[in-house]
């Protein structure tokens, strides 16, 4: 999985992900998020339009990263999940916990 980090504001980062978020890549994803949060950006937007496949390990990584962000006083939001990712989120009811937005811009500008 490829992750490109964009610094949106002083405390917000957008992580543009592509590939597969699964057992193989979940650890690297968690490490990237931890580094971003340690760097002072606890508000995270994870852009998932390029993620073609996500399994339960990827789902666990997203939930773990949500916890990491919230413990640092921030939050984690999902932007533009692909069809397969949306299906996994709905089947697991995680879509009730992780807020999704149509794109990264909407997620960044809509912090409540």
CATH of the domain at 28: 3.30.750.24
Is there a contact between 7 and 106 (Cβ–Cβ < 8 Å)?
A: no
Residue 88 lies in a domain: yes
Domain count, the chain: 1
| Residue 22 confidence (pLDDT) | 97
Q: Report the C-alpha gap between 13 and 41 in whole angstroms.
A: 6
Beta-bridge partner residues of 51: 19
Residue 110 lies in a domain: no
Residue 31 lies in a domain: yes
Cα separation values, 15 from 34, 47, 93, Å = 12, 6, 23
Helix (H) or strand (E) holding 45: strand 43-54
Q: How many residues does the chain have?
A: 112
Encode the chain (112 residues) as per-residue pLDDT tens digits: 999 999 988 899 999 999 999 999 999 999 999 999 999 999 999 999 999 999 999 999 999 999 999 999 999 999 999 999 999 999 999 999 998 999 988 898 877 5
Residue 64 lies in a domain: yes
Residue 83 lies in a domain: yes
Residue 23 lies in a domain: yes
Identify the domain containing residue 86 by its residue range: 2-103
Q: Report the C-alpha gap between 36 and 13 in whole angstroms.
A: 8
Residue 30 lies in a domain: yes
Q: Report the C-alpha gap between 32 and 38 in whole angstroms.
A: 10
pTM greater than the 0.85 cutoff: yes
Residue 22 lies in a domain: yes
């Amino acid at each position: 999985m490829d992750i490109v980090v964009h610094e949106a504001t002083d405390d917000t980062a957008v992580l543009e992900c592509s590939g597969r978020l699964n057992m193989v890549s979940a650890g690297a994803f968690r490490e990237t998020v931890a580094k971003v949060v340690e760097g002072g950006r606890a508000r995270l937007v994870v852009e998932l339009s390029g993620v073609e496949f996500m399994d339960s390990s990827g789902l666990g990584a997203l939930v773990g990263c949500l916890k990491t962000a919230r413990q640092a006083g921030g939050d984690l939001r999902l932007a533009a999940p692909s069809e397969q990712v949306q299906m996994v989120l709905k089947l697991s009811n995680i879509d009730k916990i992780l807020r999704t937005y149509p794109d990264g811009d909407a997620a960044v500008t809509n912090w409540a």
